Amino acid sequence: MTYFWYDILLPSWSDYLPTTAHKVLVDQTLWCWTFLSTFFFIQSLAGGMSVAESIEAVKSNLGPALKANYCFWPMMQYVNMYYTPQHLRLLVLLLVNVPWTAFLCAAQNRKREEPKKSQEVVEKDGKKRHRE
C-alpha cells in the first residue's frame, strides 16, 4: 500500500501538485487518514476483536493518533519529498516508519486505567471512612 502511494501515485500527480507543500498537503489529508484507520482496524481484528469492536477501536484511537501524526509527519514528509531523490524516498519513509509503527502499536494496545473505586471501611470506633 505504501509503495503504491509513494512510488506510483504521488509522482504521477506531479503536474497537478507542483510544489512539495502541495504533495505534503495531499499526503496528510488523504493518506494519513486512510492509513491510520486501516492500521487500527486490521490491528484490532488481528487482536481478536469483532468488526464492531474494531470500528470502535478506530474511533477511539484515530483522534490521538492524528494529533501525534500532525506533530511529526508533515515536517518529515516535507524534508523527505524536497531533499531526498525520488528513488530513495520510499526507503527513507520506511526507515522512519518503523518507530512510528511501534508507537501506533503501543497506542493501540495501551490499557486504559479504570478509576479507582473507593472502599468503605468501618473503623473500630464505628465511623465509616472511604479508602482509595
Domain coverage including residue 45: 12-110
Let me know if residue 3 belongs to a domain.
no
Segment 81-98, tens digit of pLDDT: 888 888 898 899 889 999
DSSP state of 125: T
Is 132 a member of any domain?
no
Whether residue 58 lies inside any domain: the answer is yes
SS (H, E, C) 12-68: HCCCCCCCHHHHHHHHHHHHHHHHHHHHHHHHHHHCCCCHHHHHHHHHHHHHHHHHH
Residue 86 lies in a domain: yes
Q: What is the mean pLDDT of residues 53-66?
A: 92
Rounded to an integer, the average pLDDT of 10-23 is 70
pLDDT computed for residue 3 by the predictor = 67
Residue 5: inside a domain, yes or no? no
pLDDT recorded at residue 114 = 46
The answer to the question of residue 131 being in a domain is no
pLDDT in tens, 96-113: 999 999 998 888 887 544
Q: How many domains does the chain have?
A: 1
- The answer as to whether 43 is a domain residue is yes
pTM of the model as a whole: 0.68
